[in-house]
Amino acid sequence: MNNSKSVSQRGLSGVESLLALVVSALLAAQALPAMQQLKQRKAVELRAQALMTDLKQARSESVMAAAQYHIRFRQMPGGSCYVLHSGRPNDCSCDESGQAMCIGEAQVLRHEWLPSSTRITIRANVGTMSFNARQGAVTSTGSIDITEASGLGIRHIVSIAGRVRSCALSSGIGNLPACA
């Protein structure tokens, strides 16, 4: 005896499959901008942390070596850079391709080049900061902004004592307070 009405059908119809695909695509479209913003924020935080480490190293090296160390900033059409170096304040810089160059007996301790293609820039309101040998105090105090093209950013503020504090240029950057 063949009873076809008692057999249940299993699986999805074409319409149900298409509906599931549309819902999945909508969810992915909602998540993509959030993932992009997370990626941008992490890139800014990473660069800001590297710069913070380099500023602390400049201060520490100057005290330990009993010599002046400098960090020099430069903006160019192709990108932005900084060079942490010994010697005189203007003995080292970056060329147009982002390579560190020094004259005399100056030596590069650390160098960072951010090509325009990274969409992240480092911009200081001073050209050079010099860390003095005695207490690590800094000449030409200033602030340094690390920003992403979308506007996300972190500012490092270097005090006369050579200490660095940070604030967020935009909301949603780590646990940093907003810049005043």
CATH number at residue 158: 3.55.40.10
- pLDDT class of 134 with cuts at 50, 70, 90: confident
Let me know if residue 109 belongs to a domain.
Answer: yes
DSSP string, the chain: ---GGGSPP-S--HHHHHHHHHHHHHHHHHHHHHHHHHHHHHHHHHHHHHHHHHHHHHHHHHHHHTS-EEEEEEEETTEEEEEEESSSTTSEEE-TTS-EEE-TT--EEEEEEEEGGG-EEEEESSSEEEE-TTT--EES-EEEEEEETTS-EEEEEE-TTS-EEEEESSTTSTTPPBP-
Let me know if residue 177 belongs to a domain.
Answer: no
pLDDT tens digits along 3-38: 555 555 677 788 887 888 888 877 777 777 778 888
- Percentage of residues in the chain having pLDDT higher than 70: 94
Model-wide pTM > 0.85:
no
pLDDT tens digits along 68-82: 999 999 999 999 999
| Domain count across the chain | 1
Give the domain range for residue 91.
34-168
Let me know if residue 25 belongs to a domain.
Answer: no
Let me know if residue 92 belongs to a domain.
Answer: yes
